Amino acid sequence: MTALLLLHLIAALGAPLLVRWWGRAAFLVLALVPAAALTWVLAQLSVVLAGGVVEETTSWIPALDLAVTLRLDALSLTIAALVTGVGALVLLYCARYVGPGEAGTGRFAGCLTGFAGAMLGLVLADDLLLLYVFWELTTVLSFLLIGGDGARLAGRRAASQALVLTTAGGLAMLVGLLLLGNASGSWLLSEVVADPGTGAAVTTGTLLVLAGAVTKSALVPFHFWLPAAMEAPTPVSAYLHAAAMVKAGIYLVARLAPGLAEVPGWRLVLIGLGLATMLVGGWRALRQHDLKLLLAFGTVSQLGFLMVLLGGGSRELAAAGLVMTCAHALFKSTLFLTVGVVDHATGTRDLRRLSGLGRQLPVVAVIATVAAASMAGLPPLLGFVGKEAAFAALWDGGLPDRTAAALVLAGLVLGSVFTVAYSARFLWGAFAGKPGTPPAEVLHPPGPLFLAAPAVLALAGLVAGPASPALEPLAARYADTLPLVAPEPEHLGLWHGWQPALALSAVTLLGGLALFAVRGRVHRMQERLAVGASADEGYWNVLQGLDRLAVLVTGTTQRGSLPAYLGTILVVLLALPGTLLVTRAPWPDEWRAWDTPVQALVGAVVLVAAVLALRIRQRLSAVLVVGITGYGLAVLFALQGAPDLALTQFLVETLTLVTFVLVLRKLPKDIAERHRGRERAARGTIAVAVGLLMGAVGAVALGARTATPVSVDFPEQAYDFGGGQNVVNVTLVDIRAWDTLGEISLLVVAATGVASLVFLRHRTGGVDRAEHVALRGDGGSRARRAPRRRWLAASATLDPQRRSVVLEVMTRLLFHPIMVFSVYLLFSGHNEPGGGFAGGLVAGLALVLRYLAGGRYELGEAARVDPGLLLGTGLLVAGGSGVAGLLAGADVLQSAIWQATVPVLGDVKLVTSLFFDMGVYLVVVGLVLDVLRSLGAELDRQDDEDDPIGLRPGEVVVR
């Protein structure tokens, strides 16, 4: 079964390609897929008839108890046969319905094939959540198919309406399924039905699931999406909105009825809504001019009928319902397909303009007449068998309550009268000659392939009527799971002797024909009885109300001020965790003054710097005092016993300062005060309160800490598994390597962001190399001839006034030792302070030195690579080393250690996490280089060339 579903998936994905190769003939191949499924399903018939079930389980997400559990029993077999059979024929029909080379055919074919698979999965799924997944899949595909290419406003509206309604019902259903699964203790549909449990949870869950079924099967008051969905091409209407998707709700009800029919509210909801739907749909079908809409309202009506039968929860009604479901799928898809043929041939579906078509398209007329007769319930068609069985069931039993059964029977008879009337209206409208209307012109007579699908479907309905006793074992296999109310079960068949049900059938037939005969008067009555509102308008009003509410809420909460938002967040922080902290927190019993007195001293300096940062309005000075807090922190780290942190903090602080200076040189010297006194007071209050809160949180958290830290085994693990002595470094590259991988990815994103904010045209500019420019100062040609007089490669490009020989000499002397040192830090980091982060930062500082001493061309000479390349390589190396662990048979990012004795080097110990650290190193260098190239070199270039955003000639910027 899983293989069949996969086959559908592959076919759906491959459909666009097939359509590109073979045009519309691809549908013929695609039709083979559901046909194969039909063959398989029918092959299981003997097993299922013998009382067996076919089951298949594939583990999917064991942690969530989610498995692909498929199960084929009598009910699923019946519906699956319908879904696959009609699906295959509809795809066949598409091969002639779509025009040759029509745009969007590939997408359409993929969606339709995918839908066939999703629908098959839906009826086979035995897992509650899997059922839901397929359920929503059909919803989404229906949305795509109704909307088409999205060119028509009405199509888009109809698609989104169907999506909103069925998804809303689907979400309610999901909650219901979860409740049912919890209450019954099983996530298998078959087990839930066998033993659903009791209590309020089951009742609530059942009603929520019914909400899903009711919306999906377009019952009142959600029926209106179905006629609107007729925007879709006719094959879609025939398949999704007549034979398959709308049957999903019916199927679900049929599936759950054996277990849940006695739940309070079940019968009330399903039979009440079903009857109302049957009458409303039939009544409205009587006044449609568009043949498709006529059929759509007819479908609504029939869905209500089916819901009454299958929701009734008795053996005899269920058997009738199952037969009626088959009959409906056969005749309704036939009718839709014939409408498609008529539409194709004449270019219209308006029954006021179609006249005398019966003579011109006799084959189509015969096919449609057979199907419509089945819809009207005429013998010897399958529709008659189903309807007769339903009437017979309700006459003697059907429902435990006799009064209710009588009322329901009366409703069904009235609904069936409407059905006969609109069936007649359909045939008359499509094929009859109408006096005063010129005969419709047949532009494209249909070919045999085009007629094959409707003909087969109509024939199936015709044959199945007399052959209905053969359906009995299958229907009984399902129906026997429900209690019998009538004295004895009625058998399926055309002739049961002279009995009341036959009389009722005759009544419906005569009543319907009479109603059709007086159609003029019926129309006038409809006009008089018209109400000024429809469910559809109600839907739009609800949506508009939602929209208004959204605007109101957004307008009230989003005031457009960042400080206000941040302030709100912080006030909530103070209000909730703050209150808890004051009222409930266990305050520490004892305190220490400090770890060492030096700590207090450094702390005082940091605090003073922080306060100064608030007062100083000169940009650079403010940055410097914030820098002091950073350096102070480095000292505190060192005091606490964290040399790696101290080193990193020191390097980063220096780099931050440089970056600030690079940008601040372009900004005004002072920061203007823009806040009124009252605002400052409010900010101050929040700030002090947050400060107190966080300080207290730190103390309370530490005081409350009693559990053994997870890191207590880290040193041992670091050496045994990570092969390193520096525990912090091994934690980064091994124990918590996933974290680090995420963090370096973030660095890549940040670096890319910096570059894209500065370079407006490209991700980065090209590398500015010195040989491309004429050297300034004493002339490039001489400098080129006498390279020995230069300390740096490109410093001659600088303005002589900006050059500093001391800096150049120092850079010349220091650059390479620093680079070597950075590599040393990288390699030794596993056992001593250092590592990829520190090494990369040191290398970055070396580049900073080159840039500061020699300008942007010097930077180009120092690092001739694109920063993006470094970042990407780094990420690749880090990720690749993780995969290497996987290839070596271990987990992702697990270290492997190789030890060997190499001639010259002696004992060499190689840990794979070293490569991970190299990736980190490259990413950090790339980040620094990107910052230098963007905020340094590119800003220089913009100044030099007076070109703020790299304008092309003739381009103008509008501000």
* 191-230 positions binding other proteins, by CB under 8 A: 224, 227-228, 230
Measured from the CB atom, is 496 or 736 closer to other proteins? 736
Measured from the CB atom, is 685 or 781 closer to other proteins? 685
Measured from the CB atom, is 122 or 294 closer to other proteins? 294
Contact 662, 855 (CB under 8 A): no
Residue 805, burial from CB neighbour count under 10 angstroms (0-12, 13-18, 19+): exposed
- The residues with which 898 forms a beta bridge, in sequence order, are 910
Total residues interacting with other proteins, rule: CB under 8 A: 174
Contact 468, 494 (CB under 8 A): yes
Map the footprint of other proteins across residues 94-113, applying CB under 8 A.
Answer: 97, 102
Measured from the CB atom, is 11 or 218 closer to other proteins? 218
Measured from the CB atom, is 126 or 343 closer to other proteins? 343
H-type alpha helices, 767-804: 780-785
Map the footprint of other proteins across residues 3-62, applying CB under 8 A.
Answer: none
Query: CA 566 to CA 571: how far, in whole Å?
Result: 9
Map the footprint of other proteins across residues 913-952, applying CB under 8 A.
Answer: 924, 927, 931, 934-935, 939, 948-949
Nearest to 245 by CA among 380, 134, 133, 339: 134
Out of 611, 820, 890, 910, the only residue in the binding site for other proteins (CB under 8 A) is 611
Tell me the closest approach of the beta carbon of residue 349 to other proteins, in angstroms.
Answer: 7
Tell me the closest approach of the beta carbon of residue 390 to other proteins, in angstroms.
Answer: 27
Out of 410, 542, 582, 750, the only residue in the binding site for other proteins (CB under 8 A) is 750
* Helix (H) or strand (E) run with residue 96 in it: helix 74-97
Out of 584, 592, 676, 788, the only residue in the binding site for other proteins (CB under 8 A) is 592
Tell me the closest approach of the beta carbon of residue 147 to other proteins, in angstroms.
Answer: 13
Measured from the CB atom, is 62 or 709 closer to other proteins? 709
Tell me the closest approach of the beta carbon of residue 48 to other proteins, in angstroms.
Answer: 39
Out of 66, 164, 293, 502, the only residue in the binding site for other proteins (CB under 8 A) is 293
Cβ neighbors of 895 (< 8 A, separation 6 or more) are 721, 722, 723, 733, 734, 885, 911, 912, 913
> Sign of the C-alpha dihedral, residues 179, 183, 188, 193?
negative
| Other beta carbons within 10 Å of 927 | 25
Cβ neighbors of 900 (< 8 A, separation 6 or more) are 907, 908, 910
Out of 247, 284, 477, 803, the only residue in the binding site for other proteins (CB under 8 A) is 284
> Sign of the C-alpha dihedral, residues 859, 864, 866, 869?
negative
Map the footprint of other proteins across residues 757-796, applying CB under 8 A.
Answer: 757-758
Contact 512, 419 (CB under 8 A): yes
Tell me the closest approach of the beta carbon of residue 750 to other proteins, in angstroms.
Answer: 3
Measured from the CB atom, is 487 or 520 closer to other proteins? 520
Tell me the closest approach of the beta carbon of residue 585 to other proteins, in angstroms.
Answer: 13
Helix 315-346 crosses helix 247-260 at what angle (to 10 degrees)?
Answer: 180
Map the footprint of other proteins across residues 354-393, applying CB under 8 A.
Answer: none
Map the footprint of other proteins across residues 675-694, applying CB under 8 A.
Answer: 675, 683-684, 686-688, 690-694
Map the footprint of other proteins across residues 226-255, applying CB under 8 A.
Answer: 227-228, 230-231, 233-234
Map the footprint of other proteins across residues 513-542, applying CB under 8 A.
Answer: 523, 526-527, 530-534, 536-537, 540
Query: CA 847 to CA 839: how far, in whole Å?
Result: 13
Map the footprint of other proteins across residues 432-491, applying CB under 8 A.
Answer: 443-444
Structure tokens at 115: 């839908």
Map the footprint of other proteins across residues 414-443, applying CB under 8 A.
Answer: 443
Range list of β-strands (E), 375-432: none
- Segment interacting with other proteins, rule: CB under 8 A, options 23-31, 145-153, 498-506, 911-919: 145-153
Measured from the CB atom, is 128 or 935 closer to other proteins? 935
Tell me the closest approach of the beta carbon of residue 18 to other proteins, in angstroms.
Answer: 21
Contact 408, 397 (CB under 8 A): no
Query: Using the rule CB under 8 A, is 674 a contact of other proteins?
Result: yes
Torsion of CA 433, 436, 437, 439, to 10 degrees: 60
- Segment interacting with other proteins, rule: CB under 8 A, options 52-60, 122-130, 148-156, 810-818: 148-156
- The residues with which 55 forms a beta bridge, in sequence order, are 71
Query: CA 278 to CA 422: how far, in whole Å?
Result: 13
Tell me the closest approach of the beta carbon of residue 173 to other proteins, in angstroms.
Answer: 24
Query: Using the rule CB under 8 A, is 353 a contact of other proteins?
Result: no
Contact 586, 697 (CB under 8 A): no
Tell me the closest approach of the beta carbon of residue 512 to other proteins, in angstroms.
Answer: 19
Out of 35, 42, 452, 610, the only residue in the binding site for other proteins (CB under 8 A) is 610
Query: CA 293 to CA 291: how far, in whole Å?
Result: 5
SS3 of 823, please? helix
Query: Using the rule CB under 8 A, is 833 a contact of other proteins?
Result: yes
Measured from the CB atom, is 234 or 419 closer to other proteins? 234
Query: CA 588 to CA 869: how far, in whole Å?
Result: 52
- Segment interacting with other proteins, rule: CB under 8 A, options 146-154, 394-402, 462-470, 497-505: 146-154
Tell me the closest approach of the beta carbon of residue 589 to other proteins, in angstroms.
Answer: 9
Tell me the closest approach of the beta carbon of residue 401 to other proteins, in angstroms.
Answer: 33
C-alpha distances in Å from residue 569, one per residue of 180, 265, 562, 859 = 39, 45, 11, 43
Tell me the closest approach of the beta carbon of residue 632 to other proteins, in angstroms.
Answer: 9
Cis ω before 709 (30° cut-off from 0):
no
Structure tokens at 573: 């922080």
Query: CA 70 to CA 134: how far, in whole Å?
Result: 12
Query: CA 235 to CA 334: how far, in whole Å?
Result: 10
- Segment interacting with other proteins, rule: CB under 8 A, options 65-73, 282-290, 783-791, 895-903: 282-290
Measured from the CB atom, is 736 or 790 closer to other proteins? 736
Out of 157, 491, 496, 790, the only residue in the binding site for other proteins (CB under 8 A) is 157
Map the footprint of other proteins across residues 558-577, applying CB under 8 A.
Answer: 558-563, 566-567, 570
Query: Scanning the structure block, which residue is given the tokens 């001489």?
Result: 782
Structure tokens at 182: 């919890």
Q: What are the b/e assignments for 638-650, b being 16+ CB within 10 Å?
A: beeebbbbbbbbb
SS3 of 651, please? helix
Tell me the closest approach of the beta carbon of residue 760 to other proteins, in angstroms.
Answer: 9
Query: Using the rule CB under 8 A, is 731 a contact of other proteins?
Result: yes
Measured from the CB atom, is 191 or 832 closer to other proteins? 832
Measured from the CB atom, is 663 or 897 closer to other proteins? 663
Measured from the CB atom, is 672 or 902 closer to other proteins? 672
Contact 233, 97 (CB under 8 A): yes
Out of 92, 296, 474, 852, the only residue in the binding site for other proteins (CB under 8 A) is 296
Query: CA 438 to CA 225: how far, in whole Å?
Result: 34
Provide the residue type at 125 as one letter: A
Q: What is the DSSP string of 485-520?
A: -SSSPPPPSS---S-HHHHHHHHHHHHHHHHHHTHH
Out of 439, 715, 779, 800, the only residue in the binding site for other proteins (CB under 8 A) is 715
Tell me the closest approach of the beta carbon of residue 142 to other proteins, in angstroms.
Answer: 15
SS3 of 56, please? strand
Map the footprint of other proteins across residues 613-672, applying CB under 8 A.
Answer: 613-614, 619, 622-623, 626, 629-630, 633, 636-637, 639-645, 648-649, 652, 655-656, 659-660, 662-664, 666-667, 671-672
